[in-house]
Structure 1
Amino acid sequence: MCVKKEGKNAEITCEENDCLENLKKKNVHSVGTKDPVEWLSSVQEPLLVTDYGIPPPEEFDPRFDETRIVSPIRNQGQCGSSWAVSVADVISDRLSLQMNSNITLSAQQFIDCIDEEPQCAPGNPADAWNYATIAKLMSEERYPWTGLNDQCQVSTRQCQDENCHLNKLYSVNNVVHLSSHHVDLMYEILFKGSVQATMRVGKDFTLYNSGIYKCPKNSSSIGYHSVRIVGWSETDDGEQFWIAANSWGTEWGENGYFKIAKGINECDIESYVLAANVRKIQTDEIETPIAEFDKTFDNNKNNITNNYCSQLFDYKNCCDGLDGNCSVQYENKFCYCDNMCSNEPGHPFECCPDYKTHCERDDALTNPSVIIPQSSEDNVPSVLTKIRLMETQPFIKFMEFKSQVDDKNLPEEYIIPEKYLPQITGKWADESWAVTAVDVVSNRLSMKHLLDQPVVISAQQLVSCSKIFRLTEGQPKDAWIFMEQHNMVDDDCYPWTGDSNKCEFYIKENYLVRCQQSSILQRPKLYQIGRAYRVPDNENDIMNEIINFGSVQATMQVYQDFMNYKNGIYNQPKDAEFIGFLSVTIIGWGEESNEKFWIAANSWGTSWGENGYFKIARGINACGIENYVIGVEV
């Protein structure tokens, strides 16, 4: 139990008398961070923190603030892992602040899944942050600390029930190298949480006991070390200092913490400060330690033909191409559930035991193509275009519902501002899940920021670059999961082609990008999308969502006669043939002759329907259009 003595010069002590017993021990502490010269250039250039208009307080110590949760001190032992431990703790602090819940992330996951050195050698903080932007980070409880560099113990399986949204997986975005000005750092810590700092250390630092540490002038450096700055204060004499958490256990320093001079870049501690925005991930996957899979497989050895591809995919719906996400652990190795696998001797990608019975499918089982005409009005040849609809209803149970404010004064008719309407072209309908998602994001970004020139997010980036992350043909969930976890560019940088080709777009170091029609690296505008959520399936909630935040994505049942829609209010036919599912964008509502309707944009070109738009009965869940409505935070 830690207690704080009175006064600005107070030190933190423990009720026990052996808090500083480390002075009597000859512990050898590992520093464990590579020279910043090797990695700093891979992080976005320093950003100035917003001036909040009020001066930061003279002292701020979140350990004694009931509204804050600070991650406990860890002991990295002889593993040179401060680069990983400090990142895990900073993300944990920020998640705890954001979610008002005590969250401790696994530091071992960073070491196992990034570090290629066999002896927990010094690592690279930038690698840890960049890994956190693409990985699904697990808790300490699910992936506990070992202090050793081992095999990455993470595997993935599909979640298939309504409790998917309870998965405790986390990620970050917008990693930045913060301004070295101490006031900017104070604002960042005060409003967003602790930050990671990398500092030079000398031998005397390992013997630190208490007081304000300063780098001795004549002491040689033993390397770089990453720590977590959690707050600041000053002495009665006005000497300012940072409050920082080390990772050498609670017996070191002031119960695991230390003070270091603030505002003078002592030991370079203000030069190499990194942080990021944090978030809980919504996903339909469960990230699970491999050990838990081993138990599952051991318990089912007598039934191996039903326990591999079948646990990942629906029947006859496995991967089309080679993909790491299509693999399952099998007898201390991996087997695959895609059409690139083979059981021929020496082939590197062995098929799972149940691949043939579960995955191989006859083309006759796939959804038949539907043919509709395209017109030269869309600047495309007047030919027949094949449209493939989604075969299954959207799986969005993992998304949380957003509570709505009941506005009883909704107008009888409404449509989003004309300049923010979707840009309807001859986009392929089998990508409606992607086209409608980016239409919603583009509309909401433009409306939120009142843009004179609306932004158009790239649908092609979503279609091509999400392929390696999805297990089947595209679904609405694939669009929202991908956009939440990846920076997006606009249509000018990655223009629409309508092809489901390979991803030819990568965000490189310093957020440089080679846009599709350019031969040079540049820094375009990058858009980060927030959490997607379900809108309750009743008309008032959907109307409230549209009028307050912008258009929504809806997925509806499609019947054969819908292909020939021209005008009027469409309703679900009694005897027409059901042919699949389609995602559309609801942009407003209206009423004609006492018949209520939604106004929606399709993605079949302007020659279809009312210049690409259609009306459909409102308030009666026509064609299930009110069942699967999605909004997003931007």
Structure 2
Amino acid sequence: MKKHGRVYQDSAEKERRFQIFKNNVEFVEKFNSEGNMTYSLSINRFSDMTYDEFLRHYTGYKQPTESTSSAAASFTYENLSPADVPQSIDWREKSAVTPVKDQGRCGCCWAFSAVAAVEGITQIKTGKLISLSEQQLVNCDTDNNRGCQGGWMVDAFAYIKQNGGITSEENYPYQSLDGSEGTCDMNKAKEAAAQITSYAEVPPNSETDLLKAVSMQPVSVAINMSPAFQHYSGGVFTGDDCGTSLDHAVTVIGYGTTDDGTPYWLIKNSWSDTWGENGYMKILRNTEAPGGVCSLATKASYPTM
């Protein structure tokens, strides 16, 4: 409670949270004691929450039944040969990734995923790394996306293109940590700090095509969460308890292979740098699973400039 600033409204709520915390401690300790896994779990700031609560507040990927994605460009990197694709890449090392951010109790992971991809391509094309505004997407991108109630990165890219760009984090800072949204500031929304010309989707269920795209720029992906996500602390996540229903959005900012030969995707999340590997995660790459581990190659997209 002290470490994470937890204050409960009364003794009954404190007792309820303590029981949830104990259950989570048992889950973490049981997992870690079983060994033979390529990743580990730990207690963190989410450990007084049930998994259902965690899903409700800290995810938010929802693909609408109707969207603007029909305007997406064709897959740009189709013709890359294996020789064009490096063995590993980490876009942080090329200064194309801003520090890890925190979506808080707002289901707008879609906005953070999309913004990270736009920040990446902007730096790659212009040499300037600019932290861009998730709050603008939460407040102003409302034709299909629904702020803290969920959204989809492709429609976020469509909004940025149609709007003539997206403003900076400095100009339109994030204010939805507690789940409140606010209304669109039209004046700030027109002060573009970065622009995109279009956006494209990676052919679904192809880790090979996803690899081509990530070798060229950070890519937005949707994934299926599992209870282990809540307490992931490091290593290569194998997604043994993942399903196929997409419910969270992250950004693939690289890939590589561990010293013992395990191939992985490098993921930037939006749960602050206190989660995982300083806010990042490795997920197993090149699997037999359709769409990859946790279906991360099912719905991948990226902006173009």
Partner of 2:196: helix, strand, or coil? strand
Q: Secondary structure at the match of 1:54?
A: helix
Provide the residue aligned with 2:60 in structure 1.
32
Name the structure 1 match of 2:268.
245
Is the Cα–Cα contact under 8 Å of residues 284 and 293 in structure 2 kept in the other structure? yes
Of 88, 109, 123, which aligns to 1:59?
A: 88
The separation in 2 between residues aligned to 1:36 and 1:270, in whole angstroms, is: 19
**How many Å separate the matches in 1 of 2:147 and 2:193?**
28
For 1:95, the equivalent position in structure 2 comes to 122
Q: What secondary structure sits across from 1:210 in the alignment?
A: strand
TM-score (norm 1): 0.36
* 2:248 maps to 1:225: yes
Q: Which of 142, 147, 150 is residue 171 of structure 2 equivalent to?
A: 142
C-alpha displacement at 1:262, in angstroms? 1.3
Find the counterpart in structure 1 of residue 207 from structure 2: 182
> Runs of 5+ in structure 1 lacking a partner?
1-10, 12-19, 159-166, 279-634
Larger helix percent = 2
The match for 2:226 among 202, 207, 214 is 202
CA contact (8 A) 1:202 1:223 kept: no
Q: Is 1:155 aligned to residue 181 of structure 2?
A: no
TM-score (norm 2): 0.71
Structure 2: segments with no counterpart, 5+ residues: 1-37
Q: Offset at 1:56?
A: 2.2
Conservation of the 8 A alpha-carbon contact between 2:201 and 2:301: yes
Number of residues paired by the alignment? 248
Written as runs of structure 1 = structure 2, the 5 A alignment for 1:474-623 is none
Residue 78 in 1 paired to residue 102 in 2? Answer: no
- Tell me, in whole angstroms, the C-alpha distance in 1 between the residues paired with 2:115 and 2:188: 21
Q: Which amino acid aligns with 2:167?
A: M
CA contact (8 A) 2:214 2:253 kept: yes
The 8 Å contact of residues 85 and 247 in structure 1, kept in 2 or not, is answered as: yes
Q: 1:122 aligns with which of 150, 155, 162?
A: 150
Equivalences for 1:291-306 in 2 at 5 Å?
A: none
Higher CA-based Rg? 1
1:109 pairs with one of 113, 116, 136: 136
Q: Is the 8 A contact 1:214 1:266 kept in 2?
A: yes
| 1:481-535 residue CA offsets vs partner (Å, 9 max, x unmatched) | xxxxxxxxxxxxxxxxxxxxxxxxxxxxxxxxxxxxxxxxxxxxxxxxxxxxxxx
Shift in alpha-carbon separation, 1:182–1:55, aligned structure 2, 3 A: farther
The residue aligned with 2:14 is none
The residue number in structure 2 matching 1:612 is: none
| Distance in 2 separating the partners of 1:150 and 1:74 | 19
Offset at residue 209 of structure 1 (A):
1.3
Question: Deviation string for 1:223-264 (max 9, x for gaps)?
Answer: 511100000111233221100001011111111000111123
Query: Which of 1 and 2 has higher RCO (CA within 8 Å, sep 6+)?
Result: 2
Query: C-alpha offsets along residues 541-575 of structure 1, whole Å, 9 cap, x if unaligned?
Result: xxxxxxxxxxxxxxxxxxxxxxxxxxxxxxxxxxx
Q: Would you say the 8 A contact 2:285–2:293 is kept in 1?
A: yes
Partner of 1:442: none
Whole-Å separation in 2 of the counterparts to 1:118 and 1:236:
42
CA gap 1:227/1:152 in 2 versus in 1, 3 angstroms: same
Counterpart of 2:44 in structure 1 is 22
Deviations 1:567-622 (A, max 9, x none): xxxxxxxxxxxxxxxxxxxxxxxxxxxxxxxxxxxxxxxxxxxxxxxxxxxxxxxx
SS at 1:155 equivalent:
helix
How much does 1:276 deviate? 1.6
Residue type of the alignment partner of 2:100: I
**Where does residue 262 of structure 1 map in the other structure?**
285
SS of the residue 1:209 aligns to: strand
The answer to whether the Cα contact below 8 Å between 1:46 and 1:179 also exists between their aligned partners in 2 is no
CA distance in 1, matches of 2:239, 2:185: 39
- Which whole-Å deviations, capped at 9, do the CAs of 1:26-68 have from their partners, x for residues lacking one? 35351101147765964637625332562522221222x2x43
Residue type at the aligned position of 1:22: N
The answer on whether the counterparts of 1:132 and 1:172 sit within 8 Å (CA) in structure 2 is yes
Task: Give 1 or 2: higher strand fraction.
Answer: 1
Distance 1:178 1:220, change over 3 A: closer
Distance in 2 between the 1:189 and 1:92 partners?
14
Residue equivalent to 1:605: none
Q: 1:43 to 1:32 in 2, by over 3 A?
A: farther
Distance 1:230 1:104, change over 3 A: same
Is the 1:108–1:144 Cα contact (8 Å) retained in structure 2? yes
Q: Residue 240 of structure 1 aligns to which amino acid in structure 2?
A: P
Instruction: Summarize the Cα distance change of 1:109–1:168 in structure 2 as closer, same or farther, 3 Å threshold.
Output: closer
Match of 1:132 in 2: 160
Aligned residues: percent identity?
A: 25
Return the alpha-carbon distance in structure 1 between the equivalents of residues 244 and 82 of structure 2: 39
Cα distance in 2, alignment partners of residues 275 and 156 from structure 1: 24
The alignment's C-alpha RMSD in Å is 3.0
